[in-house]
Every structure is written in structure tokens, then in C-alpha cells.
Amino acid sequence: MEASVELALCRRLLMMADDELILGHRNSEWAGHAPILEEDIAFANIAQDEMGHAAIWYRILSDITGDSADKLVFFRDATAYRNCQLVELPKGDWAMTIVRQYLFDSFELVRTSLLFDSQYGPLAEAAGKIRPEELYHYRHTSNWIKRLGLGTQESNVRTQRALEYLWPFTKQLFILFDEEEPSVNAGLFPESSIIEIKWLDIVKPFLRESGLKAPDINQLIEVDRVEHTPHLDVLLNEMQEVARLDPNAQW
Amino acid sequence: MGDTQWPRYEVFGQDKEGNPHRNVGSVHAVDPEMALQNARDVFVRRPQTTSIWVVPAANILSKTQQEISEYLDLKSHIDQENKKTETYLVFQKLSQRPSMTFVVHTGQVEASSAFDALKKSVELFGEKETYVWWICPERTVYESIDDDIESMFSQAHDKKYRMPQDYRLTLEMMELKKGKR
């Protein structure tokens, strides 16, 4: 594989893995705190799924670069993480969690479907494995969006508020490092603008059907994935605390 | 102060195609779709499941072995004529073994009411010793479809870390104690 293509591939793998890891961590924060017992378990399941997906992407990356997942997860600082800001934001109230999960689940569903056609075998194979789980995640969150949006006045207000706060962060899902082109041209990854169009085609009508309105486009946050909010530092402090106590420990 | 919980749904799981559905527990939910998803999240953490049913607990007529003869006698004078019949599903608890789940789906009857269905079930299926009878109208069952198997159930197979057998903690602890590690 050409050097520029491999570089682009590795960067995108790291982004996907970091997204899943950080989102999985946020999901797991509901354990013991969800509004009902069944959702406590549901989110624990979803968190496990996301961690599983992260592990898959880290492993494919490790096969190329040799960096172990443990090293990447527990011993990188926030500045080296390449997740989008959307997933590092605090879980907020139930509406905030559901809206954030919906925006990301719908994105993942679109991207996974397009990754089936990747010319890089491990990617296509992984996409095939992950898709059934993504289907379930989407079913779960989209149902909640509908119930919250069309529920009571309070549920609608909170969900609309969450949507207005989170929508600007979605633009970052479709922006990448400068070196995207080699991986797209080599047929490894779908083009971000295509993912974005398909995503908007699903999300906008669905939100409307659910009694919600996506905000205007001119409030979007367009930053490189190198930049993070202070929330990521707090999250990593907690997540990496035990591992960093004894970096040479055998687990 | 009333009960603020959402309605309860009983959950029935089928562990292999061809096997009868068994009651595995219940979930609270606002509607059947949420009940189905909750049932999957709560009860299908470990393999193996090919299908789940959820039924609102309010639609289930339940009688124990001790209650049944008194119940059937009590209503025996009620006129059942001129009522439309529909299909009722029959579930029985046939074993007291602790490992057995609660009731298992044993068949169905055509009846004009839950009482009528229970009466007919006892006649048709009552030769086996039955500790509990459950009856519900077939129309109140909300079920997973074949297309759901991959996204709802199959993935549990890969998650071996949910199985107790995947952890060898006991052996390792014993070795630690003996100073072998």
C-alpha cells in the first residue's frame, strides 16, 4: 500500500476507534443512574457494543502500526486523541444523551453501510460484523427520539433544547484531516460529503416527524479533530487513572 | 399515591427454533415495541435466543394449581353463548425444578373468553400435573420477527465475556494463594 494511503487509513482508523471508545465511556456513565432499570441495562449493553467496535478498529490499526490498543487508550493525552467533540460532551440529562446518541448512531449506520464496499478487506469485514449492532442501536435511539419528541411538553422542550445545543457539533463528523483524499481515491473510505448527504436525508425528516426541528446551518462548529473541549481531559483523567497508577502492571 | 411505573409486560423467550417459548421474566415499558427492546436488553444478554414475545401482564389470566378448581366452579354459571371466539395461547408450569423457567408455551385453544379458554385448556392439556396456568389472547402478543434475529440476538454469541465460564478467576486465585503466582 502506498505510504500516503496507509497514513490516511491509519488516521481514519484512529478517529473511528476514538469516537467509539469515548462514546462508550459516556454511555457507561449511566450505569446505576438511568431513569428506568431497563435503560440502565440497555445503555450498559450499548456501551459494551461501542467498546467492542473501538477494539475492532484499534486492532486493525495495530495490525498496521504495531501500537497496542491498551497503549493508545490509557497512555495518550487528550491532545493526541482524535475523537470528535460530539462524543466527549458530558451525558447531560436523558434528552441530551438520547439526542447525542441518535445523531451519532444515524451517522454510524450510514458510514458502516458505505464501508461494506471498502477495498481494504479488514474494513469491509469489520463493517459487516458491526452493522447488525448498529441497526439495533439505531432502532433503540430513534424510538426514544420519537417518544421524547412527541411525548409531553416537557420531554419535547428538553429534547429540542438538546438538539439545538448538539446540532452544531455534528458538522465535525464530516470534516477530516487534510489527507483524506488518498484513502478515498484508493476506495478505502467513502467521501465525507456523501456520508453527510445521506445522513441529512435520514435525520432531518425523522426529526420533523418526531416533532423536532434541526437548527440553522450557519451555527456549525467546524474544527479539526485535534482540538478538544476541557471535558475530554476530565474524562481521560477518570478513565486512565488506574492504568497510569502502575504503567508496568500486568493485567 | 398511585403506582408510577410503566405497565408490565411478561417476556417469553425461545432458545432454539422449534422449541416452545418460555417465560423468562418481565419488563416495564410504555408500549409493545419498547417492551420488546427492553426484553432483548434484559434477557438476551447471553446466548441463545431465536425469538421473543412480550405480552402486557394485564392481558394474562393466571391461576395456580390451588386456585384453579375454585375459580372454574365460581364462574361455571356464566352464559358463554353468542360471544365471538378467538385464539388464546396456553402456558403451563410443569416442573418444580429450580433451574426451569416459569411457564412454557404448550398450545392454544379457540374460546370466547379467558375463563372459557382456561376451562378448555384444563380439559385438553390437564393430564400433566400443572402448577400454574397462564392464558392470554393471541392478539395481545407482540413478537420479534425473523429479520430481527441478526441485529437483536446473534451478537450475544460473540460476547463470551458475559458468560461465567469465560472467567478463570477461581483457578487463578487458588494458585495465588498457594504462592504459585
A chain contacts of residue B33, beta-carbon cutoff 8 Å: 143
All cell numbers assigned to B51: 425469538
Amino acid making up residue A164: E
Which residue in B137, B53, B54 sits closest to B90, CA to CA?
B137
Q: What is the pLDDT of residue B13?
A: 93
Percent helix / strand / coil, chain B, rounded to 5: 35, 25, 35
CA-CA distance, A93 to A74, in Å (whole number)? 27
Which residue in B141, B78, B95, B135 sits closest to B111, CA to CA?
B135
Q: What is the pLDDT of residue B5?
A: 83
CA-CA distance, B94 to B103, in Å (whole number)? 7
B151 vs A135, A143, A147: nearest CB: A135
A45 vs B6, B41, B151: nearest CB: B41
Q: What is the pLDDT of residue B78?
A: 61
CB burial class (10 A; 0-12, 13-18, 19+) of residue B83?
A: exposed
Say how far residue A1 (Cα) sits from the centre of its chain: 27
Q: Could you tell me which chain B residue has the CA closest to the CA of A132? A: B151
What are the Cα distances from residue A116, in Å, to A3, A55, A189, A225, B103? 23, 19, 10, 25, 43
All cell numbers assigned to B2: 398511585
Q: Do B37 and A135 touch (CB under 8 A)?
A: no
Determine if residue B18 is left, alpha or beta; phi over 0 gives left, psi from -120 to 50 gives alpha, anything else beta. Answer: left
CA-CA distance, A72 to A56, in Å (whole number)? 13
Q: What is the pLDDT of residue B135?
A: 96
Q: What is the pLDDT of residue A165?
A: 94
With a CB-CB cutoff of 8 Å, which residues 148-167 of chain B face chain A?
Answer: 150-152, 154-155, 158-159
Q: Do A143 and B150 touch (CB under 8 A)?
A: no
CA-CA distance, B69 to B48, in Å (whole number)? 37
Say how far residue A125 (Cα) sits from the centre of its chain: 19
CA-CA distance, B18 to A159, in Å (whole number)? 43
Check: CB of residue A102 under 8 Å from CB of residue A141: yes
HEC string for B2-63: CCCCCCEEEEEEECCCCCCCEEEEEEECCCHHHHHHHHHHHHCCCCCCCEEEEEEHHHCEEE
CA-CA distance, B96 to B54, in Å (whole number)? 24
Q: What is the mean pLDDT of each run of 10 residues along chain B (181 residues)?
A: 82 92 93 94 80 96 91 69 86 85 92 93 94 96 86 73 69 81 64
Q: What is the pLDDT of residue A194?
A: 92
pLDDT tens, position by position, for chain A (251 residues)? 888 889 889 999 999 999 999 999 999 999 999 988 999 999 998 999 999 999 999 999 999 999 999 999 999 999 999 999 999 999 999 999 999 999 999 999 999 999 999 999 999 999 999 998 999 999 999 999 999 999 999 999 999 999 999 999 999 998 866 667 888 888 998 988 899 999 999 999 999 999 999 887 656 777 888 899 999 999 999 999 999 999 888 76
DSSP A99-130: HHHHHHHHHHHHHHHHHTT-SSHHHHHHHHHH
Q: What is the pLDDT of residue A198?
A: 96
All cell numbers assigned to B134: 397462564
